[in-house]
Structure formats: C-alpha cells, structure tokens
Amino acid sequence: MTRDTGSTITVKVTKELGQVSAIPNISIPRITLPSGLSAISIASFIVLWHFLAVIIASPYFPTPLAVARATAAAFVERDFIGFTIQQHIASSLARIVGGFGLAAMLAIPLGLASGWVRWIEHLTGPVVELLRPIPPLAWIPFAIYFFGDPFDAVFIVVLAAFFPILLSTIAGVKAIDPILIDAARTLGAKRLQLFGKVVVPAALGNIVTGMRIGLGVGWMCIMAAEMVGVKGGGLGVYIWSMGEIGRFDSVFAGMAIIGIVGIALTGAMELVQKKISRM
C-alpha cells in the first residue's frame, strides 16, 4: 500500500508478521509545470509590455525598465510630500488590517446566526440585499464628511470586506450535511452544543474563503479611497500624487507594489485556509 503525502512514504504490510513499517523515500525537488508556466506567463507579459511602450512612445506609458528604476528609487528616497514608500505601504496596511478585522468581527457572528436561526435571516436578509449591490466606492463622499480622515478609508474597507465574509459564512452554515446534525442530536447534543461543536467547525472552511475574498476586495477599494479621502500616507495617495506631477513611472511602480502586497495578503489567507482544511 502506497500513500503520497508530499514526501513519498512507502508502507509495507507484512501479513505473516502482522507488522507495518514505513520507509521514507527522499524525493528530489523539481520545477513543476504550473510554476514553469507562471514564469513564462510573467516573462511574456513583461516583453509585451516593453514592446508596446516602445511602439506607443508615450510619457504616460513607461517601459518596464523605467518602472523598475522608479520602484528602486522609491525605497531609498522620499517623495515630494515627505513620505517613503515604506511609510505608504505601512499606512495602507494599517487601514486594511483595521477595516478587515472590524468587518470579520461583524460579519462572521451575523453570518453564523443568520445561517442557523431562520428568523434572524429573515430579519437581516432584506437589509443586506438592499445594501450589498451598492459599490463601496459610492460611499466615499459620505465617509469623507461623516467620518473624516483616517476613518473614512477604514469604513470603505469594512463595507468592501463585510458582504463577502457574511454571505460565505451563511452559505457555509446552510451547506452542512444534515446527517452530521442528526448524528449529533442522536448522541444527545443540545442546540447550543450543535452550534458550537458541529456548525461552527463545519462552516470554518467557507468562513476563511469569504475572508480571503473580502481581503482582496478590501485591498482594491482602499486604494481608491486613499486617492480621494486620505490626507496622510498610503499607496493610493502615492499613486495620485505622482500622477499629479506627471511621474507615471512612479505611478506604475506604485501599482506594481500594490499588486505584490495584494498577492502576499491573499497568499497568507490561502495558507490559513489550507491549514484549516487539514484539521
């Protein structure tokens, strides 16, 4: 019998002795097809970008080399508003962490309750469906004048992350196999015990999926919110200020940094999701 769990482990069962022995086989790491295709995809994108920039020859569309130089310079120089790129990144991360954390604290309990208790779903459902289609960016004027800096941007993140987490949590509760519920009831579990011992653990995968989606949406929205509603640092502030003075190599550098940080954030959530799925 052979079982593959990352490093190959060959399990030999000796029927005569009734023994089971595990012999680890060290596998040599090699480049997989998906990683190779990813490298080819990125390289092709950069080459295409370079040729388009050369052909178009516009000051608003810099080459990859110019963007790389602007990115390197941003980490060692302050911009004209007095911030380093590290400070801009830290400001954006502080807002996304605060807004995302608040959204999760509100959406997860409400989603669990709405999915488990029917009358709560009927009570909150119409309001959720009324507010959900409204783009988070449509709230920016209200957020600027009602909350002010820096809570206006945090409010936008809360709205952006709240609904994906809420709806995914509700879906996770409703997707629980009724057999699990019946089995727990047969063993004498009360309703509160069912909720804590069966419902929450079973919905955990959906909850983390919703959090990963909400984090990505929140990260996109915070950039737009920072461009119009924030006075201090932030990657959105950096992009907007560089665009105002015609430094489009720095604008593209800021966009690249946003993408890299976004990949890191969603990658961290994917790791959490994988660990939870193995529990």
- CA 242 – CA 62 distance, rounded (Å): 13
* Helix 85-116, helix 118-131: angle, nearest 10: 140
* The pLDDT of residue 229: 65
For 76, other C-beta atoms within 10 Å of its C-beta total 8
Please give the pLDDT value at position 25: 44
Query: Who contacts 169 (Cβ-Cβ below 8 Å, separation ≥6)?
Result: 107, 108, 110, 111, 112, 115, 203, 206, 207, 210
Give residue 32's pLDDT.
52
- Residue-wise pLDDT for 196-230, tens only, equals 888 888 899 899 999 999 999 999 998 888 887 67
Q: How far apart are CA 85 and CA 195, in angstroms?
A: 46
CA-CA distances (angstroms) from residue 140 to 128, 133, 144? 19, 15, 6
Q: Is 111 a residue whose pLDDT tops 90?
A: yes
**What is the average per-residue pLDDT within 7-21?**
38
Band (34; pLDDT cuts 50, 70, 90): low
If you average pLDDT over residues 21-40, what whole number do you get? 55
DSSP annotation of 137 reads G
Range 137-152 average pLDDT: 86
Q: What percent of the chain has pLDDT over 70?
A: 87
CA dist 240 and 44 (Å) reads 28
Q: How many Å apart are CA 19 and CA 270, to the nearest integer?
A: 39
* pLDDT digit string, tens, across residues 180-195: 888 888 887 787 888 8
CA angle 138, 142, 144 (to 5 degrees): 105
- Using the predicted structure, report yes or no on whether residue 250 has a pLDDT greater than 90: yes
Q: What is the pLDDT of residue 21?
A: 38
Domains with residue ranges and CATH for the chain: 62-277 (1.10.3720.10)
Instruction: Evaluate if residue 160 carries a pLDDT over 80.
Output: yes
More confident residue, 225 or 68: 68
